[in-house]
Amino acid sequence: MLSRKKILVPTIIAAILIGVSAVLLIVAVNQDAEDENIATYDELSVSPNLDHSAETQGNNRAPAAPHELEVSIGSAPGERRDLPSSAGSSFPGGGLELPFNTSDIDQQNGEVNPLGVVRFSKDLAEFGHSGIDIPLTQGAPIYAVADGPVVVLKSAGDPWGGQGIFQLLQSVSAGEGWVFVYEHVTPVAGIKNGSELKTGDLIATKTPPARFTAHFQLSAAFNNYEFTRGMECWVDSLSTSALTKLNTWWSKYLTDSTMINSWRTNTEEGKFPFRGLLNTAQFPNGPQLCYSPGTDVR
């Protein structure tokens, strides 16, 4: 008769071998899953890669600063992808007009979200907000900033509703070029993909709900304009008259206690995304519409 020890030893060895095999199988499966995730990430992503070498720590007004990503239409949080270099690193045009009337800005019912600032987890840490959010009265008219066709028209794809309109400002190659994005808006009748817009055309109205802003963004787009790379401070590309109008409004806005209080008290995910922007020691030029990419004062 075999002893109990002689029976147990092979049994224990077999159990160990089975356990090791199971561990190796799990590791292999996990590695395959990781490899698949990496491939998907590389395939779908959007990568703003603008040159901001001229920016300095003391200058909180960046010439360019999305990437929403907020996330802009056609993109998702954390995605990256390179734009062919033919588009260049900054918008070469200018002379844009304002997409809204400054008289329609509702200072008592919403707050400006500047470009480049990290507000919450949906904003990529290295880029921050991809555009400038402006609080407008419900139904306020939205105008084309320049001549150019509509190349993307689709749902904004987030809980705040409305549509996103991508207008091509400058073509680089087929499916690639510089676009102006009007988001969280309701297109007026007749606006569709391919619509040829002229500067100042009425293209949309501000979409409800109240206390949610319209989003305006200047970016390079690719893959049939569905993806964006980088974001520019479109204020720097305004015509002289448009810039004068905007500066006149902004100067008055900064003296409104409602604006200061909203930046001081606004919270996102339990943090204060704008309060630190009021720190004159860190930002001696005061509140701005555009900041360096990834400005995070939370």
Question: What token pair was written down for 242?
Answer: 């448009």
List strand residue ranges (DSSP E) for 156-265, in order.
163-173, 176-187, 196-197, 202-206, 214-222, 227-232
Beta strands at 227-232 and 196-197: parallel, antiparallel or unpaired: unpaired
pLDDT value of residue 230: 79
Per-residue burial over 133-158, b = 16 or more CB atoms within 10 Å of its CB, e = otherwise: bbbbbeebbbbbbbebebbbbeebbe
Mean confidence (pLDDT) of the chain? 76
Contact 107, 101 (CB under 8 A): no
The full DSSP string for 115-153 is EEE--STTS-TTT--SSEEE-B-TT-EEE-SSSEEEEEE
Contact 68, 122 (CB under 8 A): yes
- Residue with token string 């401070």: 233
pLDDT at 177 over 90: yes
Residue 176's pLDDT band, with cuts at 50, 70 and 90, is very high
Residue 169's pLDDT band, with cuts at 50, 70 and 90, is very high
pLDDT value of residue 19: 57
- The pLDDT tens digits for 72-91 are 322 223 333 334 444 456 88
Residue 212's pLDDT band, with cuts at 50, 70 and 90, is confident
Q: What is the pTM of this model?
A: 0.72
More confident residue, 16 or 245: 245
Residue 16's pLDDT band, with cuts at 50, 70 and 90, is low
Among 54-58, 63-67, 141-145, the range of highest mean pLDDT: 141-145
pLDDT value of residue 239: 97
CATH architecture assigned to 85-295: Distorted Sandwich (2.70)
C-alpha distance from residue 279 to each of 113, 265, 276, 282, 291 (Å): 17, 14, 5, 6, 14
pLDDT at 106 over 50: yes
Q: What is the mean pLDDT of residues 110-128?
A: 91
Beta strands at 163-173 and 290-295: parallel, antiparallel or unpaired: unpaired
pLDDT value of residue 231: 85
pLDDT value of residue 257: 87
